[in-house]
Chains A and B, each alone.
Chain A
Amino acid sequence: MEPTDYDIDESELDLPTEPMRLAMGPSHPAMHGTIRMMVECDGEMLTKVDVEMGFLHRGFEKMCERGTWAQCFPYTDRLNYVSPMLCNVGFAHAVEKLADIEITERCKWYRVVLGELARITDHLTCNAAMAMELGAFTPFLWMVRAREHIWDLLEEETGARLTHSFARIGGMAKPPTPLLKARLGEVIPAVRSIIDESMKLLLKNRIFLDRMQGVGVMSAAEAVQWGWTGPTLRSTGVAYDVRKAHPYLVYDQLDFDVPVGERGDNYDRYLVRNEEMYQSLRMLEQCVQKMPDDGPINVADRPEIVLPEKKDVYTTIEGTIQHFKLVMEGAKIPAGEVYGFTEGGNGELGFYIVSDGTGTPYRVRIRPPCVFVLQSFPRMIRGHMIADVVPTFGSVNMIGGECDR
């Protein structure tokens, strides 16, 4: 056995280094299951990175071209599976823009409530997973507990914890339950206190700070060049939020701030997401005050698109025929093309839809916000250590369903 404790300084040892190639993923705990990175490292430093996506490709856009417009909603649930309601609402928003439907006041408020709840679960999941991958397991469990509060509430409202399929063209599947506001009154303070606690656990943790600060830095100009939107863009200091820049639903009646970062590193992305959760809670509190308690949830004057009420289906022949034709042939969305965009969990969630006037979508195209961030990942990580891949990839919040579609 040769000795291993020789003194490097005394012997003029010049070991040759060869670049080592590593495949990270697709079955790697930090790759969230569905992505492969070929990295080449010099020692522990990354010199080349090639990201390969598509492992979760299910042909969302192709599948949408087979059924009716209403049948696309279950697919949108499975795009961003940590905030499915935002995708639901985003798709409905685009189709309503094409069909020129103005949804009811109460429905707008309801969509904001459900959407902001989903946004909190999105950011909770991202921050929690990022902390857990750095070894902080307790904050993960606490944030997931907060997420449970919200998912319980969403389950009471929609009937499903995750895959809600709850939005409809011109309304929602069901009106809000009578207990919605009371339950929001319980959930909001509970979630807020848990976020407070988990921040206290992380923000004074030396290990957490060292691995987040100054890692994965992106400048504002470059972020725009790479097409970043959402919390990641705001972390670089660009205050672009679709809810503020192009208010839809009732966001113009709500009082909220757009948090921005300064340096665009992992730490700023974490902080921006945290602050956005507080802002969402603030919005929800205002919704409790302002949301109308009664009124129609579905549009009444567009029978060629919106399903009739069940009561009418079973008691009138017009309702039966309308229901039958809408289910069998699909809603005839007028021919044309629009790009409808909302603020999703990861940024600008756009749907470019083309209709040829039949009941089937001609083309449904989603603009997936996290692909833009993922695309620039080699640029963010080059020159860092292998271990920095983990927090940086976590702060990107790559969601396989949305990324690979």
Chain B
Amino acid sequence: MSKVVLERVQAKFGAQVLETQSFRGDDTIVVARESWHDVAAFLRDDAVTDMAMFIDITAVDWPERAAEEAEEEGVPGAGKRFDLVLHLYSLGKGHRVRLKTRLADGEQPATVSDLWAAANWFEREVWDMFGIKFAGHPDMRRLLMYEEFEGHALRKDYAADRAQPLVPYRNTPDVLDKQAPFRADEGMPFGRRDWQPRDHAWTALDTETADRPLGEAVIVNPDNRRPS
């Protein structure tokens, strides 16, 4: 890893860099939450740092540290509970850096998925596992767990043997167009004849064209036609 990156970021951002450290060959930069996205963008675009490759984003939960900080300040919940950890790599230069910021519970860092497409799912995973939401993320769904999962599993106060409630039949909107995939009245009939009463456009087509000779089919919904 490279000290050059640390110096470069310190020179550029000054007081926004809270801390830098080098340990076992890994270089770490700790920045304030407000400059999280700026520093990440700088690391990617600067000619010296050149961090084109996103390696990983994850978090670490430090509830005891947060409790101590909150006690010092006298404000409950003021402690910075989470470390948000971003690893970056430069394919051209061959150096790596670890960018960290500290977050209180409920604070929202800016997403970096606009800088690296790869960050999209991993920020979803951080939300899923730690309950950290990213401001400006295009699709803040859970990644590994399901929608109805209660709590965030990698927080230290989530007991590893905790049982989850049973999930009733799901009526949440689906992801593709915010509609459940196969409601009783949509989709295509599987047979040639449709035995179920339907209120869908296909039914209209079927009944209206039942007596028509082929070749005079009615276009029910012109918007859905394949562009020619």
Contacts and interface: CB of A to CB of B under 8 A. Distances in A.
Interface of A: 2-3, 6, 11-21, 23, 38, 40, 42-43, 48, 50, 52-54, 57, 59, 61-63, 65-66, 97-98, 100, 224-227, 238, 240, 245-246, 336-339, 348, 350, 352, 354, 362-363, 365, 367, 371-372, 375-376, 404-405
Contact of A38 (B96, B117, B142, B181): B181
* 4 closest Cβ pairs, A-B complex: A227-B118, A11-B215, A54-B144, A367-B56
Nearest to A403: B144
Contacts, number: 137
Interface of B: 23-26, 28, 52-56, 58, 60-61, 85, 87, 91, 94, 96, 98, 116-118, 120-122, 129, 142-146, 153-154, 158, 160, 174-177, 181-182, 187-188, 201-202, 205, 214-215, 217, 219-222, 224-226
Nearest to B141: A52
16 contacts: A3-B214, A16-B225, A23-B181, A38-B175, A42-B226, A53-B144, A54-B145, A62-B153, A225-B52, A240-B91, A336-B23, A339-B26, A339-B87, A363-B60, A367-B87, A376-B118
B141 to A, nearest CB: 9
B118 A375 contact: yes
Contacts of B217: 13-16
Given A2-B214, A227-B54, A245-B94, A20 B187 contact: yes
Nearest to A405: B144
Contacts of B160: 59, 62-63, 65-66
B117 A21 contact: no
A17 B226 contact: yes
Contact of A365 (B24, B56, B96, B224): B56
Given A17-B226, A20-B187, A38-B176, A339 B96 contact: yes
A19 B225 CA distance: 9
Contacts of A352: 56, 58, 85, 87
A336 B24 CA distance: 9
Task: Tell me whether chain B's interface is mostly helix, strand or loop, or mixed.
Answer: loop
B23 A38 contact: no
Nearest to B91: A240
B117 to A, nearest CB: 5
